[in-house]
Structure 1
Amino acid sequence: MAKDRTPDKSRATGGGSSRSGAGAGGRGKGGRTRPPTQVVAQQRPWGLIAAAIAVVVFAAAVITYAVIEVRKADASKVESIDEIAGAEVFDYEGGQHDDGPIEYPESPPVGGPHANMWADCTGTVYDVDIRHENAVHSLEHGAVWFTYDPDALSDAEIDTLAELVDGVSGRLMSPYEGLDSPISLQSWGEQLKVDSVDDERIKQFADLMTYKADSFPEPGATCERPDFLAAPLLESDDAAAPAESSAPAGADQTPAS
């Protein structure tokens, strides 16, 4: 007689436990729990973006300022002495040297006979009234000579004027006793007199006439004169000494047409 077959409860239970254990609670072999998967949210670099925007804004501001300044400079720039109101023009020939005191028709002089030694004009700011005959020789080399009445300008105004001269080759500056205006600028054959250091014509004249090759007799001549720089000759020395020789400064000077 055949035996009644019954399920093996222990086998069935064990099998079921194994299968249910693998599927419930994330348990694997040995009963260990798998760590939950962490999802990291991507963060936007807001700090870097803000910094980049700030740099762009700053650069735009700098460029805008530079463009405005260039346009202002271009607006005040002149191409001819005729564009500078009040500038006077004279015709002089160069090359006439005389080491004695010379009487000039203009004050300060703007050309004519002059001393053999030129005054250093490498952006030199003198604090003494240098000998005019030496300064005129510097004009012959293409320099612009800034002069001022020391009694008419304050120390701060003198410093402001000197900023346009100091270190700029082809320029020199000195006080000028008895000047009939607070400030006077000279190049070879040109002159401009103004009342204020803030007058824009000062810079216009200096920028136009410094080494302006078609307006002075000796283009390419040096402005360096270390011996004069070390021991400037003074106009007062001529006034104290009797004249040994003189030249008719007005003989080669005629008004420009």
Structure 2
Amino acid sequence: MAKDRKPDAGRAGGGASRSGSGARPAAPRGGGRGRTRPPTQVVTQSRPWGLIAAAVAVVVFAAAAITYAVVQVREADAQQIDAIDEIAGIESFDYAAGQEHVTTPVQYEQSPPVGGPHDGEWADCTGTVYDVDVRHENAVHSMEHGAVWIAYDPERVSGDDVATLAELVDGVSGRLLSPYAGLDSAVSLQSWNHQLKVDSVDDPRIEQFADFLTFNGDVEGHYPEIGASCENPTFVADPLTVDDGSRGAGATTTDAPTTPTS
């Protein structure tokens, strides 16, 4: 009787293979452990456009500011006056020092006057803005002390235009501003022996004249009493007008030169 043969080793578990149980999946060809490498992430570096735009804006603003500053400096240099004849339209006269002090009205050759006999009391010229037509004989004395007198025609200059002129005068020692009835121009500027008439308060020569001639003792033939005071509280408190007479020779206590306040 023949012995039963042992199951063929190659067939053992064959049924299990067919049923799918107990079978180990084949190893990957690369010899790995069966874990799939995740896909590589490609990172694109973003440009900081906001910072770039801000930097460009700063550069543009700085360039504009520098350009503006340069233009302003050049304009200021262009306005700078180094000699009296650089002010177009200015007229010069020849009133000598030592003019007589008088208490009577004076018939001046120029209108407004730029020199000559004058009252012993000077109109305060410590940057004083008057709203009355100050007595001319007193204003001439102020110019003898080195002041610039700015007069305007009240028929043509009012409101904001007066304020524009006042900005050049108010608080600046050596200057006074007042209306002047019957003036033949909108504005007239006077200092001792010098005069300039203009038709607009925006004329740049107004500032040129005031800046160059206020207390300028270096100009030949300019004001005689260098160092004399512009302060006269009495005149500020009670200014004399063209309709008033003189307060007399004793109206001021002294006419001695003093150091002006700039």
TM-score normalised per structure 2: 0.68
Q: Deviations over 1:53-104 (max 9, x none)?
A: 7666655544432221111011122222212222110011233342423321
Given the alignment of the two structures, is residue 208 of structure 1 paired with residue 212 of structure 2, yes or no? yes
Deviates more, 1:74-83 or 1:130-139: 74-83
Matches within 5 A, 1:194-233: 194-214=198-218, 215-233=222-240
Aligned length: 206
SS at match of 2:244: helix
* One-letter identity of the residue aligned with 1:228: F
Q: What is the alpha-carbon distance in structure 2 between the residues aligned to residue 148 and residue 170 of structure 1?
A: 18
**Residue in structure 1 matched with residue 87 of structure 2 by the alignment:** 84
* One-letter identity of the residue aligned with 2:97: G
How big is the shift at 1:210?
Answer: 0.9
* One-letter identity of the residue aligned with 2:75: K
Q: What is the alpha-carbon distance in structure 2 between the residues aligned to residue 55 and residue 218 of structure 1?
A: 55
Q: What is the alpha-carbon distance in structure 2 between the residues aligned to residue 56 and residue 186 of structure 1?
A: 48
Q: Deviations over 1:4-31 (max 9, x none)?
A: xxxxxxxxxxxxxxxxxxxxxxxxxxxx
Matches within 5 A, 1:37-186: 58-103=61-106, 104-186=108-190
Q: What is the alpha-carbon distance in structure 2 between the residues aligned to residue 155 and residue 56 of structure 1?
A: 43
Q: What is the alpha-carbon distance in structure 2 between the residues aligned to residue 56 and residue 119 of structure 1?
A: 54
Deviates more, 1:114-123 or 1:140-149: 114-123
Q: Which has the higher helix share?
A: 1
How big is the shift at 1:152?
Answer: 1.2
CA RMSD for the aligned pairs? 2.9
Percentage of matched positions with identical amino acids: 66
Higher relative contact order (CA 8 A, sep 6+): 1
TM-score normalised per structure 1: 0.69
Gaps of 5+ in 1: 1-44, 246-257
Question: Is the contact between residue 102 and residue 113 of structure 1 (CA under 8 Å) also seen in structure 2?
Answer: no
**Residue in structure 1 matched with residue 31 of structure 2 by the alignment:** none
Gaps of 5+ in 2: 1-47, 250-262
